[in-house]
Structure 1
Amino acid sequence: MGLKSVKWGIYHLFVAGFCLLMLYPVIWLIMSSFKPSDTIFLTANSLIPNPWVWDNYTIGWAGIGGRSFAVFIKNSLVIVVLSTIGAVLSSALVAFGFARLKFAGKAFWFSILMLTMMLPWEVTMIPQYVLFSKLGWLNSIKPLVIPTYFGHAFFIFLMIQFIRTIPVEMDEAAHIDGCNKFRLFYQIILPLIMPAVATAAIFSFYWKWDDLLGPVLYLNSPSKYPVSMALKMFLDNETISNWGAMFAMSVVTLLPVFLIFFFFQKYIVEGISTSGLKG
Structure 2
Amino acid sequence: MKAKNIKKLLYHVLVGGFAILILYPVIWLVMSSFKRSNQIFVTAESLLPSPFILGNYAQGWEGFGDYGFSTFIGNTLVFVLFVLVGHLISCSLIAFGFARLKFVGRSFWFAIMIMTLMLPYEVIMIPQYIIFAKLGWLDSLKPLVVPAYFGHPFFIFLLVQFIRTIPRELDEAATIDGCNTFGIYRRIILPLLVPALATTSIFTFYWTWDNLLGPVLYLNSPSKYTVSMALNMFLSNESVSNWGAMFAMSVVSLIPVFIIFFIFQRYVVDGISTSGLKG
* Cα distance in 1 for residues equivalent to 2:187 and 2:205: 25
* Cα distance in 2 for residues equivalent to 1:21 and 1:66: 40
* Cα distance in 1 for residues equivalent to 2:134 and 2:222: 22
* Cα distance in 2 for residues equivalent to 1:140 and 1:68: 19
SS in 2 for 1:12: helix
Q: Residues 72-130 of structure 1, C-alpha deviation per residue, up to 9 Å, x if partnerless?
A: 00000000010011012100000000000001110110011110111111100000000
Verify: 1:95 aligned to 2:95, yes or no: yes
* Cα distance in 2 for residues equivalent to 1:52 and 1:237: 27
Write the letter of the residue equivalent to 1:144. Answer: L
- Residue of structure 2 in register with 1:187 after alignment: 187
TM-score with structure 1 setting the length: 0.99
* Cα distance in 2 for residues equivalent to 1:186 and 1:215: 34
- Residue of structure 2 in register with 1:198 after alignment: 198
- Residue of structure 2 in register with 1:3 after alignment: 3
TM-score with structure 2 setting the length: 0.99
- Residue of structure 2 in register with 1:54 after alignment: 54
Write the letter of the residue equivalent to 1:236. Answer: S
SS in 1 for 2:118: coil
Q: Residues 45-86 of structure 1, C-alpha deviation per residue, up to 9 Å, x if partnerless?
A: 011000011010000001113210000000000000100110
* Cα distance in 2 for residues equivalent to 1:197 and 1:161: 12
* Cα distance in 2 for residues equivalent to 1:51 and 1:64: 26
Q: Residues 162-183 of structure 1, C-alpha deviation per residue, up to 9 Å, x if partnerless?
A: 0000000000000000001111
- Residue of structure 2 in register with 1:29 after alignment: 29
* Identity across matched positions, percent: 65
Q: Residues 169-225 of structure 1, C-alpha deviation per residue, up to 9 Å, x if partnerless?
A: 000000000001111101110110100000001000000000000001001111000
Write the letter of the residue equivalent to 2:261. Answer: F
What RMSD in Å do the two structures reach over aligned CA positions? 0.6
- Residue of structure 2 in register with 1:178 after alignment: 178
- Residue of structure 2 in register with 1:208 after alignment: 208
Contact 1:64/1:234 (<8 A) preserved: no
* Cα distance in 1 for residues equivalent to 2:87 and 2:203: 10
* Cα distance in 2 for residues equivalent to 1:232 and 1:65: 15
Write the letter of the residue equivalent to 2:223. Answer: S
* Cα distance in 2 for residues equivalent to 1:139 and 1:133: 10
* Cα distance in 1 for residues equivalent to 2:114 and 2:50: 53
* Cα distance in 1 for residues equivalent to 2:151 and 2:65: 36
* Cα distance in 2 for residues equivalent to 1:41 and 1:66: 30
SS in 2 for 1:43: coil
- Residue of structure 2 in register with 1:161 after alignment: 161
Verify: 1:240 aligned to 2:240, yes or no: yes
Write the letter of the residue equivalent to 1:38. Answer: N
Q: Which runs of 5+ in 2 are unaligned?
A: none
Write the letter of the residue equivalent to 2:171. Answer: D
Verify: 1:110 aligned to 2:110, yes or no: yes
Q: Which runs of 4+ in 1 moved over 4 A?
A: none
Write the letter of the residue equivalent to 1:277. Answer: L
- Residue of structure 2 in register with 1:131 after alignment: 131
SS in 2 for 1:49: coil
* Cα distance in 1 for residues equivalent to 2:121 and 2:234: 27
SS in 2 for 1:263: helix
- Residue of structure 2 in register with 1:226 after alignment: 226
* Cα distance in 2 for residues equivalent to 1:34 and 1:64: 20
Q: Which runs of 5+ in 1 are unaligned?
A: none
* Cα distance in 1 for residues equivalent to 2:112 and 2:88: 20
